[in-house]
Chains A and B, each alone.
Chain A
Amino acid sequence: MSGQEQDPLAFEVVPPGRSGPDEHGRRRVHPWTPFIAGVRWWPGGIIAGVTLAAQLDVQVGQGAILVGLAALVVVTLLGTGFAYLAWTRLTFWFDDDGDLRVDSGVISRNERRLQLSRLQSVDVLQPLVARVAGMAEVRVEVAGAGDSKINLRFLTLREANELRNEIIARSAGVRHDVEEAPENVLVRVPAGDLVVSLLLRAETYALLVLTVVVLAVTIVTEGTAGLVLIVLGGIPVFQVFAQFSRYYDFTVAESPDGLRLRHGLLQRTRQTVPPGRVQAVGFVQPFLWRTRGWVRVRLNVAGVSSRSEGRGDESYSENVLLPVAPWPVALAIVARVLPGVDLGAVPTVPAPERARRRAWIQWRQLAVGWDDEVFITRSGRIVERWDVVPHARTQSVRVTQGPWERALGLASMHVDSTPGVVKVVGLHRDATEARVLAQEQADRAATARAGDRSLRWVAQQHLAGTAPAAPVSAPSGVGDGSPILGSGAAGVADLGAPSSAVDAHPREGPEP
């Protein structure tokens, strides 16, 4: 890979290329996987050990430390042992149809086949431990209900990136030995802005207060309740650091296979969001960001885990396109995700004045708007929200009316998108108007679907005789290669491969 930036945290200890195919073309993840899996138990093990020691009033001394170390070794060996068994039984390969097959399981065998034509995302993740060893995890997700996701952990970073490229290329139905597509960095969020933006959020102060309360209760009662809470849930204010760590060095780049998002201080994540795969976009502006004109941008992408599905070790509990950016930058980036949409020019219609009796804080903000491409809703007085769904991505339209709304002759109109953080709701419209809006939106959606070309990005490029890997000419408007936000303007190096490609087809699970 060209221009691979040296990762300051990685020790180049792992010899690459050890996970090549065997005589049947089947591949294994890296042989170091079991050990890394064992080491991953350390943080939990250390916290549990220290808590236990505190509970039992163990005197800190040589003996205690030795016992602790011995326990750690045992835990590591156990973890490694189980992981080794799993490693011996896990193979993956591309079958004759070009689909990704994964064969795994120690006690119950599990053979999965991911139909790559239904690919939703490929992410390359580097949890801290793996990152230090120069390893990465590849997460592949196809459209489907339930368990349609595979995590291949771990491969060397180079192999992970190559596998990602191969999966994207195969899903696009083109030669799979193509080079990684070149990219063009649009924005890099400065660390200073990220820190300030986190300090300007009410959550931060709520968490701080919670931390103080927990600590105070622990000290006053001289009990262990607070300690247990902290061990179970972590120190609340640490959540803020976790956010900082997750979105540190957030980089948005553009390439022919989509927008690439890279971020993370300890755990690095590389994601790709192809244009046309974005189901909905939401702008959020917390109260204290208003004077600075900052906004956060979130996405719904089909198949990519929403919050409820996320586990602790997963990098995104919400899909963030930009953790913080000035309005013009955010709009410019969103214009790349939703081509041909000028959000500033969409006319909006406010909710009727009697909505103030239903929503007495935010009624003045409530509005809906639409043009030929998108439907927009606006809500929230303290935290302002703008939610956007392209007509072509409208799943269904709903009108709802609670008793209070009915008394006022109001109704709310929802445009349903795939599961995710962005919910598009035109709150508290005139009831008759809501019904008309819903019907019109259904018609607009039907028209947009009929004319929708964005899903056939690969076919277009293919027909045009352009390999997906071909460089894209510098687009006009934002960027032209230079980041819009302050730092990192010059010499932004290619950090390597990002991750997900989304192909949108009717959902169907992987065949067993």
Chain B
Amino acid sequence: MADETRTIDDAFSPPGQSWMRVSPRLARAYRITLGFWALVAVAVAVGLAFVPGLPDAVSAVVLLLALVVIAWIWWLIGRRVRSWGYAERDDDLLVTRGIMFRRLVIVPYGRMQLVDLRAGPIHRWLGIATVQLHTAAATTDASIPGLTPALAADLRDRLARRGEQRSAGL
């Protein structure tokens, strides 16, 4: 990384130990979803070629733009998935994510209201699941996607147990 990102690495660096990273299969899940949108975009671009009175160049430009944007997002997904990380500490869980808009959330175990484990059809097919933490604050927004089911279930149980031990009301 270049020098100007030095401070970010400091601000979003792991606490002592290193970040636990999520499965690269998450990128595949996102890219499959992106693929559907790519098909739609290409279909629209090709459809424009058949609109009477519209120069073919329009269709070509739209197609090119769509492909560039899709390629960019494709690349971005890889970085985005690699940016995701979490760390379990004694009293709190840290979750970080994001490239353009980076964020780090610290959730004390005692503040957790419930822990969700969920997986959509694509994620299930790829064998990954998402663990999401909820506190009484709607803004907490701590979810960890791309965990293998066994890891996710373990994490959920561990978090729930710690939450129970340290439960502190509101």
A residues contacting B by CB (< 8 A) are 143, 277, 279, 302, 393-403, 406-407, 409, 411, 414, 416-419, 423, 430-432, 434-435, 438-439, 442-443, 445-446, 449, 452, 455, 504-507
Contacts and interface: CB of A to CB of B under 8 A. Distances in A.
B142 interface: yes
Contacts of A507: 113, 136, 170
B102 A393 contact: no
B103 A446 contact: no
Contact of B11 (A394, A434, A443): A434
Chain B, interface size category, equals: 35 or more
Contact of B140 (A416, A432, A445, A452): A416
Contacts of A409: 7-8
B91 interface: yes
B88 interface: no
Contacts of B15: 439
A282 to B, nearest CB: 15
Contacts of B138: 418-419
B110 A431 contact: no
B7 A432 contact: yes
A116 to B, nearest CB: 15
B167 interface: yes
A394 B137 CA distance: 9
A434 to B, nearest CB: 6
10 contacts: A396-B105, A396-B107, A398-B104, A400-B101, A416-B137, A416-B140, A446-B92, A505-B169, A506-B169, A507-B113
B11 A399 contact: yes
B10, B11, B142 — which one has the most chain A CB atoms within 10 A of its CB? B11
Given A399-B12, A431-B10, A449-B110, A417 B101 contact: no
Contacts of B101: 400-403
Given A302-B136, A418-B170, A445 B7 contact: no
A446 B110 CA distance: 8
B67 interface: no
B117 interface: no
Contacts of B137: 395-396, 416-419
B111 interface: yes
Contacts of B100: 402-403
Contacts of B11: 399, 401, 411, 431-432, 434-435
A400 B97 CA distance: 10
Given A143-B170, A279-B170, A395 B135 contact: yes
B7 A505 contact: no
A446 B91 CA distance: 8
Interface in B86-137: 91-92, 100-108, 110-111, 113, 135-137
A356 B118 CA distance: 43
Contacts of A506: 113, 167, 169-170
A438 B102 CA distance: 15
Contacts of B106: 396-398, 438-439, 442
Contacts of B140: 395-396, 398, 416
B58 interface: no
A504 B111 CA distance: 12
Contacts of A439: 15, 106
Nearest to A445: B108
A397 B110 contact: no
Contacts of B18: none
A445 B167 CA distance: 13
B164 to A, nearest CB: 9
A490 B70 CA distance: 72
